[in-house]
Amino acid sequence: MLGPPGRDHVVLFPASNGELADHVYRHLFGREAPGTAIVVATPDLRRLITDRMVRDGIDVAGEWARGSLVFLDAAETLDSFMVAGWPDAAAFWQALSPVIKYAQARPGEVRVFGEIVTLLWDAGQTGAAVDVEALFSELAQQYSFSLLCSYPAGAEAEVEHADDLSHIQGAHSAVLRAHSRR
C-alpha cells in the first residue's frame, strides 16, 4: 500500500529500462502535476524519461527553466557521498537535502525518482544500497516527498542477497514488480 501523499517510498523491479521510464514518468507526472519533480538518474534513463515527456507535450526545457524539474546525475550524486565504499550520512545530507529543501519551498507536491541504489546493487554493494534506503527514509522524516526507487528485476532472484533484499523491501511503502501497475 502506498503511504500518505507526499510520504510514499515505493520500490520497483522493472523488466526493462522502457518499463522503468514509464513508471518514473507516471510517478512524476501521472497524477496532477507536481510542484517539483527531481530525477536522480543515469544519462540513458534521463533521455528515456525526457523523450516520454516530449511525446506527451511537456516542455522539458521550460519546466527545467522554471525550476519545477531538477535533474541530477546518479553516478555523480552517488560519488559525492560515498566514502570507502559506504554512504557517509553527512555527505548524503549535503548532497540531497538542499535540493529537497528547494523543492519543498515551492508550491505543490515534491516527487523524486532515484536510481542511486540501482548503481550500488549493480556494483555488488547491496549493503550500501540498504544504507542509502535508510538515509532516504531519514530525509523523508525532515521533508515531505514521494520517492520511487528502482532495482534490477533480477535482484529478487539473487539468493545470496536475500537478507539485503528483505531489508530493502521492508523500507518501502509499496513494492512493484516487473509489469505491475499502480
**CATH code of the domain containing 94:** 3.40.50.300
Residue 38 lies inside a defined structural domain of this protein: yes
Establish if 1 belongs to a structural domain: no
Look at residue 182 and tell me if it is in a domain: no
Residue-number span of the structural domain to which 55 is assigned: 9-177
Residue 13 covered by a domain: yes
Contacts of 63 by beta carbon, 8 Å cutoff, 6+ apart: 37, 53, 69
Q: What's the CA gap between 103 and 97, in Å, rounded?
A: 10
Total domains present in the chain: 1
What pLDDT is stored for residue 43 in this prediction?
A: 96
**pLDDT mean over 27-45:** 85
> Strand pairing partners for 47?
none
**pLDDT band at residue 182 under the 50/70/90 scheme:** very low
In sequence order, which residues have a C-beta less than 8 Å from that of residue 45 and are 6 or more positions away?
A: 17, 20, 21, 24, 74, 115
Q: How far apart are CA 43 and CA 182, in angstroms?
A: 25
Whole-model pTM: value is: 0.86
List, for residues 81-115, the tens digit of each pLDDT value.
Answer: 999 999 999 999 999 999 999 999 999 899 999 99
